[in-house]
Amino acid sequence: MQIIPAIDVIDGKCVRLSKGEYDTKKVYNEDPLEVARQFQDWGVSRLHVVDLDGAKAGHIVNHKTLEKICGHTSLTVDFGGGLKTSDDLRIAFECGAAMVTGGSIAVKNPSEFEGWISKYGPERIILGADAKDRKIAVTGWTETSSQDLIPFVAAYRAKGISKVICTDISRDGMLQGPAVDLYKEMMDEVEGLFVIASGGVSCAADIEALAEAGVPAVIVGKAIYEKRISPEEIMRINA
């Protein structure tokens, strides 16, 4: 099990939302780089950075924050939020992202997203499959599409995608436990899928429940910022 801390960015600041609703924003640190360096001190090697301004605007916005984190830490960063064009992707990679996550683009412009997979390879492109009532949500979770979660993921697995970040939006930021059964179902239904769970983690026991279910990685945000998971627990589980 790999713990991947999340840094969500609005106005260049480290924030968290509840259920993806922007009016629930809580600022945890004015300097995301300071937060990233702290994670690195805890032995973390992977980081998930989300440009929430970009997700709403439909294009990359907080690339300078990404550049600072990548330029001043040794963390492997995956970056998402507002990536809609090849130019957005170019900026993200030039700023140091090792991987990018495409969510809305995979729904609204599948030919563009498939082009990214072909050009950069599935090891650098992660599918963002964020679900509300098992339907894919897009545009910073402000819209719900008609696409069912598991068939959507299966279709992209057939096109070469191997890694998927799946967030159960109803649980995100709520500290009420992750959707363990949903992730188990995804892995049972879609062969060879590397599922990165996201949303709902409240404590180390939640992470251990995901590990027991066979989930290989989990993104954790609010539980870290609210000190419900200690640095010692993160180091123990990652080790």
130 is catalytic: yes
Question: φ and ψ at 2, to 5 degrees?
Answer: -110, 125
Choosing from 78, 130, 168, 172, the catalytic residue is 130
53 is catalytic: no
Q: Name the E strands within the chain.
A: 2-10, 13-18, 21-29, 46-51, 76-80, 99-102, 125-132, 135-138, 143-148, 163-168, 194-198, 217-220
Ramachandran sector of residue 18 (left: φ over 0; alpha: ψ -120 to 50; beta: rest) = beta
The Cβ of residue 24 has, within 10 Å, a number of other Cβ atoms equal to 12
Choosing from 8, 51, 78, 88, the catalytic residue is 8
Helix, strand, or coil (residue 149): helix
Distance (Å, whole) CA 192 – CA 162: 7
Distance (Å, whole) CA 13 – CA 33: 9
Distances (CA, A) of 145 to 18, 24, 28, 149: 20, 23, 31, 10
Active site residues: 8, 130
